Chain A
């Protein structure tokens, strides 16, 4: 079975450039999450979607960050313009949300390692 697929795996770019990270969740999952991981701050939730609708984007650090989920099988996280402090590993994860007693674990992609010079 295919897991969560992220691309690119590695991205090196220069400050000021636009960066687009892509994610394909597991088929049938109805929730999608974008996390950022750094040494200093650990794993931070940026935004999550349920049934393609953004539920909470309070973790998005600045207006430079935006995320979309045009359909159930695709999501993007865009940074424009990028800055060196955006360097991190960005994880996409998906889950099947079953309601109040939600026991579904998050399945993570392999992450996209972003370096902004």
Chain B
């Protein structure tokens, strides 16, 4: 079974500073994908970044980067130069590698990020 753990229910960061949101995962699949989503107060789920288990380099998308440490089974999201609009819930998710389990995403409980002006 796959499991995603986000240990930080809430985080605060000063505007323009960088922040790291933690995510650890557990899976027995050799091939898997890791995702981060943002959910602002308006409720929609916004895809941010993806990391494949076989990717050699850490994924980056603009101000978002994923610190992927495979041996530690961690996939932390780093947001650089935080903006007020980054205040939201952030979810880490995983997709397994093969068979029927490769379709779905399993989500963590989320981390609420608050950016302070």
Contacts and interface: CB of A to CB of B under 8 A. Distances in A.
A-B complex is real: yes
Interface of A: 31, 33, 42-43, 45, 48, 50, 55-56, 89, 91, 93, 95, 97, 100-103, 105-108, 110-111, 113
A106 B105 contact: yes
A42 B50 contact: no
B104 A56 contact: yes
A7 to B, nearest CB: 15
A110 B44 contact: yes
B6 to A, nearest CB: 10
Contact of A105 (B35, B43, B103, B109): B35
Given A102-B95, A103-B52, A105-B50, A42 B107 contact: yes
B103 A102 contact: yes
Interface of B: 31, 33, 35, 37, 43-45, 47, 50, 52, 54, 91, 95, 97-98, 100, 102-110
Interface centre among B54, B91, B103, by most A CB within 10 Å? Answer: B103
Given A55-B103, A56-B100, A108-B45, 15 more contacts: A33-B104, A42-B108, A42-B109, A42-B110, A43-B107, A56-B104, A89-B43, A93-B45, A95-B103, A101-B52, A102-B102, A106-B47, A106-B105, A108-B37, A108-B44
B107 A103 contact: no
Task: Among A43, A45, A50, A113, find the residue whose CB has the most chain B CB atoms closer than 10 A.
Answer: A43
A28 B105 CA distance: 19
Contacts of B100: 55-56
Contacts of B103: 31, 33, 48, 50, 55-56, 95, 97, 102
B36 to A, nearest CB: 10
Nearest to A35: B107
Given A105-B35, A108-B44, A100 B97 contact: yes
